[in-house]
Structure 1
Amino acid sequence: MSVTTSPDIRSGKDLDTSPDERLRKVSVLNKLLSRPELGSISGAILVFAFFIIVAGDSGMFSPDGIMNWSTVSAQLGIIAIAACLLMISGEFDLSIGSMIGFAGMMIAIPSIYWGWPVWSSIIFAFTLALSIGFLIGYIVVRTGLPSFIVSLAFLFILRGLTIALSIMFTNRTIVGGVREAAEGDLLAAAFGGKIGGWFFEWLATQGWIATYRDGAPIVEGIPMVIVWWLLLALVCSWILLRTKYGNWIFATGGDAKAAKNVGVPTDRVKISLFMFTAFCATVLAACQVFEFGSAAADRGLLKEFEAIIAVVIGGALLTGGYGSVIGACFGALIFGVVQMGIYFSGIDSDWFRVFLGAMLLAAVMFNNVIRKRVTEAR
């Protein structure tokens, strides 16, 4: 009786030695290219190098110069973070800019004309903003209408409400006196104060930073808008990359129907993110109101488009499912450095908008090339 053995048993030469696809190593280059924030970090390095050469002697990189472009970056960065999370989920919110002006007026009018304590006006503004954010998200998920259209409608609604209500209650579109009303208010200090003043005083005594004639440091502290930016960047980046909710955001933007079929609450995710964009817009509004001491009906004009550009520069795809909070922050940093760099270098400020359009086009093209390359590598 003969025993027939399979070719695999008779000879090791006949074994299938092709590498397992699951164990294939990914090159370091492909790992870097797969990171959404690669383009924005590279762009930031180039922008810094350019202005160090062009405006290095103008005071742009002195302590007060650094604080100037950091503040501008932070103002955009706060709303760019919210816009980034929403775009990763596959949606847009064009009402962010109008919400900034609306929330600012909702802080100023009750405080100055209705006699409310400033802290209650702040809570009132946040409550209204979150309610409107919920309404926008609810309309989007219930009707199936594109968020672009729904939020565009609220862009005009909020801007019109801001102007109409400010005229109705104050007969003007700029409301001042908020800084005086906010003196001693702890909640107002969380948005309009500064921290680290003692550190800059110590630097001044050591002669490491410039001072005024009375010996006070030219930099009094770090504005709270920068603190909010850094805090939101850390928290939101951790949520996006390390939590189940972050996975839900990516899944919702990647394929909402498939995500819903496996139990992801896509509707709740989208509504909560629309509320978060309203929250961040109100944070920025409060910081601006207490920094300038006034609210204006035209605050936040075109900020929604700047936030989207910062997010795209940061590596997010317009189709959703891909992006990075850190990348969006670097996109906002590029904005701040360029905007103040143009001022310090003496270049005509009209070129700033040209730069924004060019950066948007370059970022979209770069992201498209990188996405194709990574997809082919896989």
Structure 2
Amino acid sequence: MTSQGTGAVTEPGATRSVGRSSLVSMLARVFAVQELGVLAAGLVIGSVFAFLSPEFLTMASAGSILASAVQFGIVGVGVTVLMIAGEFDLSVASVYSLCPLVMAWLWIDHGVNVFLSLTLALALAASIGAINGLATLLLNIPSFIITLATGLFWAGVSLNLTGGYPISYFGTSPVMSWLGAAEMGSSKISVSIFWLVAIVVILASVLRMTATGNWVFACGGDGRAARAMGVPVAVVKLGCFILSSVLAAFTGIVQFGSFGSATPTQGSDLALTALVVAVVGGGSLMGGRGSIVGALLAAIVLGMSYTGLVLSGVSTTWFQSFVGFLLLFAVIMNLRMERLGARFGVIRKS
């Protein structure tokens, strides 16, 4: 007599189907992570420079990396938000140099209260952002043309404000220490890193958890559809332009606090570097996609690269060449990841 078991019999074909389904599910989760590429790049670049220079893994090196990350990161996340909304800002380099210069000019040269000088400099940045946004939206001219033109204009203003000379600060000030002059103990790590972290946390939370964040992505993804659904596209984009300019100005002011000098020509190549931060961090040049955390990681990667070149004895004049290569590589990899993601039916997370 044959006894019959109660368990179900699994067919070999069904097992293979389940296995393929699990593999596809795993690949889907991988391709959905925008920050994966920049994280992998950071590990590779860090390993290379650690091999080339033992000093790369010291606390002093970490301080240098984070200082560069602050410069690239704060302005970079502002550009990232604007890019997600489908627009560009090529005036950030000029705003970065102009606003700390205005603050120094008011405070040091004309005796205006330091906090009032800071406030007026940031208000100027907000006005520049508003001009960029209104000109783009009302004139219906591409934002990269508008911001390129305004960037050139404000660069000229910076040069003429002080005759091309820097304005330096000597002494102590609680505001300057608060902005970035102070360091955490003997670590050589500037307190300005806290500004970067705070800004990243706030913006990442807004984009992921609020209706405003959804509106930003909707504006960049399909502006007409967003407008049809009741999204105030013009208001959202205008706000993103203002945010980009204010964060560029704040970056320059933090650098002024850290180094004690405001220079008319500082950060002349920062606009393209900020664009690299946004794209390497997982952003799309077409809008509708981007990652604040990815931009932070990209800024750290650039900081690692700059510091690594210095410690390895390579001229920092090669840094811009590296940034250009990294931009091209990031665009190619993002396209490849999108195609592979589409192959597995994945929409990459914003």
Question: TM (normalized to structure 2)?
Answer: 0.89
Question: What is the CA distance between 1:260 and its match in structure 2?
Answer: 0.6
- 8 Å CA contact retained: 1:159, 1:297: yes
Q: 2:318 and 2:110 mapped to 1: Cα distance?
A: 43
Q: Tell me which structure has the larger Cα radius of gyration.
A: 1
Report the counterpart of residue 120 of structure 2 in structure 1: 124
Identity, in percent, stands at 29
Question: What is the CA distance between 1:279 and its match in structure 2?
Answer: 1.1
Is 1:289–2:256 an aligned residue pair?
A: yes
Q: 1:105 and 1:231 mapped to 2: Cα distance?
A: 24
Moved segments of 4+, more than 4 Å:
none
After superposition, the C-alpha distances for 1:94-139 in whole angstroms (9 at most, x for unaligned) are 0000101100111111112211111111011011111111111111
The range that moved more, 222-231 or 122-131, is: 222-231
Letter in 2 for 1:322: R
Structure 1 residue corresponding to 2:61, chosen from 65, 72, 77: 65
Structure 2 residue corresponding to 1:37, chosen from 12, 35, 58: 35
Q: 2:90 and 2:170 mapped to 1: Cα distance?
A: 29
Letter in 2 for 1:157: F
Q: 1:143 and 1:184 mapped to 2: Cα distance?
A: 44
Question: TM (normalized to structure 1)?
Answer: 0.82
The range that moved more, 346-355 or 131-140, is: 346-355
Structure 1 vs Structure 2 CA RMSD: 1.6
Q: 2:320 and 2:112 mapped to 1: Cα distance?
A: 40
Q: 1:294 and 1:286 mapped to 2: Cα distance?
A: 10
Query: 5+ residue gaps in structure 1?
Result: 1-23, 198-216
- 8 Å CA contact retained: 1:225, 1:284: no
Q: 1:265 and 1:300 mapped to 2: Cα distance?
A: 33
Q: 1:349 and 1:113 mapped to 2: Cα distance?
A: 33
Report the counterpart of residue 102 of structure 2 in structure 1: 106
After superposition, the C-alpha distances for 1:9-53 in whole angstroms (9 at most, x for unaligned) are xxxxxxxxxxxxxxx986121122122211111111111111121
Question: What is the CA distance between 1:195 and its match in structure 2?
Answer: 5.6
Q: 1:349 and 1:294 mapped to 2: Cα distance?
A: 21
Distance 1:122 1:179, change over 3 A: farther
Letter in 1 for 2:25: S
Partner of 2:34, secondary structure, is coil
The range that moved more, 154-163 or 45-54, is: 45-54
- 8 Å CA contact retained: 1:34, 1:371: no
Partner of 2:57, secondary structure, is coil
Q: 1:115 and 1:184 mapped to 2: Cα distance?
A: 14
Letter in 2 for 1:319: M
Partner of 2:316, secondary structure, is coil
Is 1:173–2:171 an aligned residue pair?
A: no
The range that moved more, 300-309 or 27-36, is: 27-36
Q: 1:351 and 1:164 mapped to 2: Cα distance?
A: 30
- 8 Å CA contact retained: 1:137, 1:270: yes
Aligned length: 324
Letter in 1 for 2:271: E
Structure 2 residue corresponding to 1:248, chosen from 215, 221, 224: 215
Q: 1:193 and 1:164 mapped to 2: Cα distance?
A: 27
